[in-house]
Amino acid sequence: MRFQAGNVGAWTIDRLDAVVGEALPQAPRLEVVDDRHRHPATPTWLLRGFTSNERYVERQERSALTAVQQPLGRADATRAALIPVRKSDAWWELTQDDRRTILEERSHHIAIGLEYLPAVARRLHHSRDLGEDFDFLTWFEYPPAASDAFEELAIRLPSTEEWSFVEREVDIRLTRVTS
Amino acid sequence: MRFQAGNVGAWTIDRLDAVVGEALPQAPRLEVVDDRHRHPATPTWLLRGFTSNERYVERQERSALTAVQQPLGRADATRAALIPVRKSDAWWELTQDDRRTILEERSHHIAIGLEYLPAVARRLHHSRDLGEDFDFLTWFEYPPAASDAFEELAIRLPSTEEWSFVEREVDIRLTRVTS
């Protein structure tokens, strides 16, 4: 997927804030496009990522998630967030069991996210293996009524041990353009 | 990394056999090149993959591996193997804990590989997230004296439960061209 900021796009960028490290340039709109589409316009910035198999979720967590999670594109989910994150080399040098222990056993990343389902739908994109500036691009969609809940989620996760490995994070909030 | 088969390259292809599913076309030579290099020649086939963080190795296994493993490019490691593998959708739909259980607790993939260190050096490349035909390209280098040991390894791994998820595999053996 490609997240392209510029003058065109189906989403209005309401705000774009640096959380850790450098921000991204401001722009009025964001377009989310499949890699197969050609987009001749020169964007203000462009972030690329791919969806992939799950890296940490275990069997019981998968069951709990799939029982309640909702798809992207719901008619009432007119708010979105794009959160690009880069983790430190120290994170990537950890072994799988160490990363899992920090992510879930100690930071409860999956369990915290589960509390905000089904209101908040989510899709993770991997960028690190493409040589991008960020490691992950997480895309969230939620109805306006879930905005306060999402703000809470956006505060809880960064206060965990896992986030001590985050060396760059940008928080981008969006509203779908009504046509 | 790009693995390019054709008429040029630092490695002679001694044999190329299908293990599961379709083979790749025969060619006399293989070149292993960094993605940043331009290679204008049209190869007979081209496989792409990236190195990444470890997905299954745990702390104790990492310690055991790093204590004995050798780098690629040793002067006496004139033999190589390139083993492209694709696993089934059923594998990729498993959760992380299920994949780990099959790969190591039941198939002993890491433990078996460890038995052939330090003679056999190894580097794993990921291809699935690039939309390639194969999921993994594993590159092995070893001295001629370790050829019998490598043949044994090449028989032991495919006899495991993990390999029941392999739906395509090609075994390519090579000798470094002496200059």
- For residue range B15-72, what is the model confidence (pLDDT) as tens digits? 999 999 999 999 999 999 988 776 667 899 999 999 999 999 999 999 999 999 999 9
pLDDT of residue A42 exceeding 90, the answer is: no
Distance CA A46, CA A42 (A): 9
Class of domain A2-34+59-176: alpha beta
Read off the tokens for A13. 């960028």
Distance CA A10, CA A177 (A): 5
Closest alpha carbon to B20 in B173, B174, B164: B164
CB contact under 8 A, A100 and B96: yes
Read off the tokens for A136. 């992950």
Label residue A161 by pLDDT band (50, 70, 90). very high
Label residue A179 by pLDDT band (50, 70, 90). low
* A126 interfacial to chain B (CB closer than 8 Å): yes
Mean per-residue pLDDT over chain B, rounded: 96
**What pLDDT does residue B1 have?**
95
CB contact under 8 A, A96 and B57: yes
CA dihedral in degrees (A97, A102, A104, A105; nearest 10)?
Answer: 90
* A106 interfacial to chain B (CB closer than 8 Å): no
Question: What is the percent of chain B with per-residue pLDDT over 90, rounded to a whole number?
Answer: 94
pLDDT tens for each residue of A6-15: 999 999 999 9
Distance CA B82, CA B95 (A): 27
DSSP label at residue A177: P
* B125 interfacial to chain A (CB closer than 8 Å): no
Distance CA B47, CA A22 (A): 36
Distance CA A40, CA B37 (A): 26
Span B14-23+67-174: which CATH code? Answer: 3.30.70.3420
Distance CA B19, CA B150 (A): 16
**What pLDDT does residue B179 have?**
65
List chain A residues with CB under 8 Å of B57: 95-96
**What pLDDT does residue A111 have?**
97
- Residue B106, phi then psi, degrees to nearest 5: -105, -30
Query: For tokens 């780990």, what's the residue?
Result: B100
Label residue A41 by pLDDT band (50, 70, 90). confident
pLDDT tens for each residue of B137-151: 999 999 999 999 999
**What pLDDT does residue A40 have?**
65
Question: What is the percent of chain A with per-residue pLDDT over 90, rounded to a whole number?
Answer: 94
Contact A85, A177 (CB under 8 A): no
Closest alpha carbon to B82 in B146, B138, B157: B138
B95 closest CB neighbour out of A52, A57, A98: A57
Chain B, window 25-84: residues with a beta carbon less than 8 angstroms from a chain A beta carbon: 50, 52-59, 61-62
* A95 interfacial to chain B (CB closer than 8 Å): yes
List chain B residues with CB under 8 Å of A52: 128-129
Read off the tokens for B136. 């993994």
Give me the interface pTM, i.e. the ipTM. Answer: 0.90
Instruction: Tell whether the torsion through CA atoms of B98, B104, B110 and B113 is positive or negative.
Output: negative
Percentage helix, strand, coil for chain B under 3-state DSSP, each rounded to 5: 30, 30, 35
Label residue A35 by pLDDT band (50, 70, 90). confident
Distance CA A27, CA A16 (A): 9
List chain B residues with CB under 8 Å of A126: 129
Contact A165, A88 (CB under 8 A): yes
Read off the tokens for A7. 């003058």
Nearest C-alpha in A relative to B53: A92
List chain A residues with CB under 8 Å of B58: 95-97
3-class DSSP string for A124-152: EEECHHHCCCCCEEEEEEECHHHHHHHHH
Give the residue with greater pLDDT, B37 vs A99: A99
pLDDT tens for each residue of B75-90: 999 999 999 999 999 9
Query: For tokens 């019998």, what's the residue?
Result: B148
Strand A79-87, strand A166-176: pairing: antiparallel
